[in-house]
Structure 1
Amino acid sequence: MRLTTEQIKVIKQTVAEVFDDDAEVRLFGSRLNDRIGGGDIDLLIPLPNACKDRLGKELRLTARLQLRLGDQPFDVLVVDPEVTLNPVHAHAIETARAL
């Protein structure tokens, strides 16, 4: 996993601020592979209940993370029972690892 301990701490704290303290955050995509460089930070936030203002919260989380961790690309997927899953969601759910 190509994230520092400090990056993980900031990500978890920021997810808790935007969603709630119980929100889980998982990493998927190229940052799971220690042998390659670069890549955006792909985050999956699975929620057990419908999320009011899901898109607004995704955008708020991304903006806060960019302010706190630097201007780097983040992809945030919030999956709740109302989300229609597509292949990207399915891949993220299958491969993501908890932070």
Structure 2
Amino acid sequence: MRQLALQIAGNQARVWVFGSRLNESALGGDLDLMLELPEPVDNPVLIATKMPAQVSRVMSGRKVDVLLNAPNLMHLPIHDIAIKEGIML
């Protein structure tokens, strides 16, 4: 996943896994990822659609949600949760 993120979002991207997939006792089905980008993003929609599609293919069709965190995008509480509770790959 990290390699896919670097290909799609650039070498400075950091990838976080967060949400129910981190809890082994939970039966969460989807994979929640956050891409943290140090530079403003010109086309966030392209990244937010390309990344889950490619990760889903690698993971045999598992549903993947991607959250973007970049200086020019709105910062939401979910970004803080992803960093606090997630694991950086």
Aligned to 1:5: none
Instruction: Pick the structure with more strand per residue.
Output: 2
**How far apart in 1 are the matches of 2:78 and 2:12?**
24
Aligned-CA RMSD value: 1.4
In structure 2, the gaps of 5 or more residues are none
Q: Mean Cα displacement is larger for which, 33-42 or 84-93?
A: 84-93
CA distance in 1, matches of 2:76, 2:7: 27
**Greater CA drift, 34-43 or 76-85:** 34-43
Residue in structure 2 matched with residue 47 of structure 1 by the alignment: 37
Q: With structure 2 as the length reference, what TM-score do the two structures score?
A: 0.87
Q: Tell me, in whole angstroms, the C-alpha distance in 2 between the residues paired with 1:85 and 1:22.
A: 19
Shift of residue 88, structure 1, vs aligned partner: 2.2
Deviation at 1:30, TM superposition (A): 0.6
Structure 1 residue 79, shift from structure 2 partner? 0.5
The aligned amino acid for 2:61 is D
Unaligned 5+ segments in structure 1 are 1-10
